């Protein structure tokens, strides 16, 4: 698979990375409904077999569960993928989530992640959210020390704006930013993409299919049948008035995807990867068949005419 170099690091990431939020399951505040762990392990192993060389996870996904599943799946892989995880969202015995970026908290979190993932070193460690905002510097300084101690190879951030990136850059170079980016969420195009490109900060884009919206299966029936413990039920993109606009967009995209004998998911990913500033798109996957489909996006080159047409759909929708 094609790789792109991640910012200032020596990591060459495949343009598609494996996302593990959904495999955290349904039993917590931001779950995705029930998930079969055997399917999750099979999906990760299928991704590695297909040549995907990195996995994105986070301590908070399933309150530690996704990291454990990643550890279990990777243990059995002969080729070991790079592992990226995140800190900054903690939970208590009642599953109440609290953002924390204090030194003691980050230091404890890295140890817990290493144990769950069954690793000695984490390839990429990211601050999940810039929250609590005044604690950004404390967390980033702590992470810089953890690199010196060999617990982490490279450090990145997620959901940071340019001003927050600048604050971190003053302390230690930021290897990567993980922002949302899809046909539906284009906010980073204006300031974040140019800043990261100028500063050699790699971008690993999350939710490139907008949590499953930009796929062939996205219909009103699909949304009506989401279980109550799937957080997408509360997501505004899955509710009116945006729901109808999103369904209409998917119908338009199906016509373009047909030209390439591709799925809408592949088209959505190929669209994200058109931007050279994007190092890799993180695709959330819960079944082996899904990654077999989405991995083909790597080969899809959207023509300039179709890119213009997609832009026209998106501008009209906006």
Ligand X SMILES: NC(=O)c1ccc[n+]([C@@H]2O[C@H](COP(=O)([O-])OP(=O)(O)OC[C@H]3O[C@@H](n4cnc5c(N)ncnc54)[C@H](OP(=O)(O)O)[C@@H]3O)[C@@H](O)[C@H]2O)c1
Query: Quick one: 159 or 175, whose CB is closer to ligand X?
Result: 159
Q: Which stretch, 190-198, 244-252, 287-295, 308-316, contacts ligand X (CB under 6 A)?
A: 287-295
Q: Which stretch, 145-153, 237-245, 285-293, 300-308, contacts ligand X (CB under 6 A)?
A: 285-293
Separation CA 173–CA 189 (nearest Å): 22
Binding ligand X by CB under 6 A: which of 272, 283, 297, 300?
283
Question: What stretches of 27-173 show up as alpha helix (H) in DSSP?
Answer: 37-49, 65-75, 103-117, 136-148, 162-169
Query: Quick one: 251 or 305, whose CB is closer to ligand X?
Result: 251
Active-site residue (options: 61, 125, 154, 195):
61
Query: Quick one: 150 or 292, whose CB is closer to ligand X?
Result: 292
The minimum distance between CB 271 and ligand X, in angstroms, equals: 12
| 220 binding ligand X? (CB under 6 A) | no
Separation CA 146–CA 263 (nearest Å): 42
| 284 binding ligand X? (CB under 6 A) | yes
Separation CA 39–CA 36 (nearest Å): 5
* DSSP classification of residue 156: E
| 282 binding ligand X? (CB under 6 A) | yes
Binding ligand X by CB under 6 A: which of 290, 298, 300, 310?
290
Query: Quick one: 159 or 164, whose CB is closer to ligand X?
Result: 159
Helix (H, G, I), strand (E, B) or coil at 101: coil
The span from the first CA to the last CA of the chain, in angstroms, equals 34
Separation CA 68–CA 82 (nearest Å): 15
| 85 binding ligand X? (CB under 6 A) | no
CA atoms within 13 A on the CB side of 10: 1
| 298 binding ligand X? (CB under 6 A) | no
- State how far the alpha carbon of 121 is from the alpha carbons of 57, 112, 228, 307, in Å: 15, 12, 37, 41
Degrees, nearest 5: CA angle 56-189-60: 25
Binding ligand X by CB under 6 A: which of 115, 217, 239, 254?
217
The minimum distance between CB 218 and ligand X, in angstroms, equals: 8
127: which strand partners?
87, 157
Place of tokens 């959207």: 302
Map the footprint of ligand X across residues 21-60, applying CB under 6 A: 21-22, 32, 56
Catalytic amino acids?
A: 61
Where along the sequence are the contacts to ligand X (CB under 6 A)?
19-22, 32, 56, 128, 158-159, 178, 206-212, 215, 217, 265, 282-286, 290, 293-294
């Amino acid at each position: 698979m094609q790789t792109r170099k991640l910012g200032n690091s020596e990591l060459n990431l495949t343009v598609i990375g494996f996302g593990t939020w959904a495999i955290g399951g349904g039993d917590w505040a931001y779950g995705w409904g029930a998930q079969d762990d055997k399917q999750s392990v099979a999906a990760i192993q299928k991704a590695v077999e297909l040549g995907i060389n990195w996995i994105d996870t986070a301590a908070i996904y399933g309150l530690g569960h996704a990291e454990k599943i990643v550890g279990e799946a990777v243990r059995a892989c002969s080729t070991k993928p790079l592992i990226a995880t995140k800190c900054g969202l903690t939970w208590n015995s009642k599953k109440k989530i609290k953002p924390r970026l204090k030194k003691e908290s980050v230091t404890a979190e890295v140890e817990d992640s290493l144990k769950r993932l069954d690793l000695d070193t984490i390839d990429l460690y990211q601050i999940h959210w810039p929250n609590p905002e005044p604690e950004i510097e404390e967390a980033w300084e702590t992470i810089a020390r953890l690199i010196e101690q060999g617990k982490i190879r490279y450090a990145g951030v997620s959901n940071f704006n340019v001003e927050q990136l600048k604050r971190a850059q003053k302390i230690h170079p930021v290897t990567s930013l993980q922002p949302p980016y899809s046909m539906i969420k284009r906010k980073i195009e204006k300031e974040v993409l140019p800043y990261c490109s100028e500063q050699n900060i790699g971008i690993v884009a999350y939710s490139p299919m907008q949590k499953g919206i930009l796929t062939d299966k996205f219909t009103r029936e699909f949304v009506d049948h989401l279980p109550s413990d799937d957080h997408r039920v509360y997501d505004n993109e899955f509710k009116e008035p945006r729901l109808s606009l999103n369904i209409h967009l998917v119908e338009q995209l199906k016509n373009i995807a047909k030209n390439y004998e591709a799925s809408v998911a592949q088209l959505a990913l190929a669209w994200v990867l058109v931007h050279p500033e994007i190092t890799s798109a993180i695709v959330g996957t819960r079944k082996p068949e899904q990654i077999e489909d989405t991995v083909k996006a790597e080969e899809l080159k959207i023509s300039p005419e179709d890119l213009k047409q997609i832009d026209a759909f998106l501008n009209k929708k906006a």
